[in-house]
């Protein structure tokens, strides 16, 4: 079964779930964090890990940005057009930073932790568009 392709249908069924905790982006390969990493991105410059703020601090890693992890529970196709643009635009218009991670089943947004409630409210408003 493939994910949804139609943007109108995706927005109409959009639901946002917040993963518990606060998250941080960590640069480099930190052995103490390997078993607790929530996402890994391999870049030319090295590894980026997404871990909880608590785990980063426990490993002695500096935290530059504390994020809330929001999951868009609509199952969008990897070939879908417009969902990332729609959600990032509504957040950008409100001055909320948005770091997007795409999974096979869902898209995930890491937004400033202190702006999570506002981000959820704004994203939820897309259902009525």
Q: 14-64: per-residue pLDDT in tens? A: 899 999 999 999 999 899 999 999 999 999 999 999 999 999 999 999 999
| Mean pLDDT across 2-24 | 88
The percentage of the chain sitting over the pLDDT mark of 70, rounded to a whole number, equals 98
Of residues 69 and 4, the one with the higher pLDDT is 69
C-beta of residue 61 within 8 angstroms of C-beta of residue 33:
yes
Q: Is the pLDDT of residue 98 over 90?
A: yes
Beta bridge partners of 111: 68
Is 3 in contact with 105 (CB distance < 8 Å)? yes
Global pTM reads 0.91
For 50-67, letters b (16+ CB in 10 Å) and e give: bbbbebbeeeebebeeeb
Token match 């990493």: residue?
37
Q: How confident is the model at residue 5 (pLDDT cuts 50, 70, 90)?
A: confident
Which residue's structure tokens are 């993963």? 19
- 69 pLDDT higher than 80: yes
Domain layout of the chain by residue ranges: 7-128
- The pLDDT assigned to 129 comes to 55
Residue 97 dihedral angles phi and psi, to the nearest 5°:
-65, 145
Superfamily of domain 7-128: VC0802-like (3.30.2130.10)
């Amino acid at each position: 079964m493939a994910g949804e392709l139609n943007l109108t249908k995706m927005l109409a069924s959009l639901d946002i779930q917040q993963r518990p905790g606060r998250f941080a982006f960590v640069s480099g390969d930190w052995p103490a964090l390997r078993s607790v990493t929530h996402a890994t991105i391999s870049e030319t410059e090295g590894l980026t890990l997404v871990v909880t703020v608590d785990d980063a601090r426990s490993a002695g890693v500096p935290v530059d940005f504390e994020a809330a992890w929001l999951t868009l529970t609509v199952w969008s196709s990897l070939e879908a057009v417009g969902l990332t643009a729609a959600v990032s635009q509504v957040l950008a218009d409100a001055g909320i930073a948005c770091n997007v991670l795409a999974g096979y089943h869902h898209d995930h947004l890491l937004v400033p932790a202190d702006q999570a409630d506002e981000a959820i409210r704004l994203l939820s408003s897309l259902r009525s568009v």
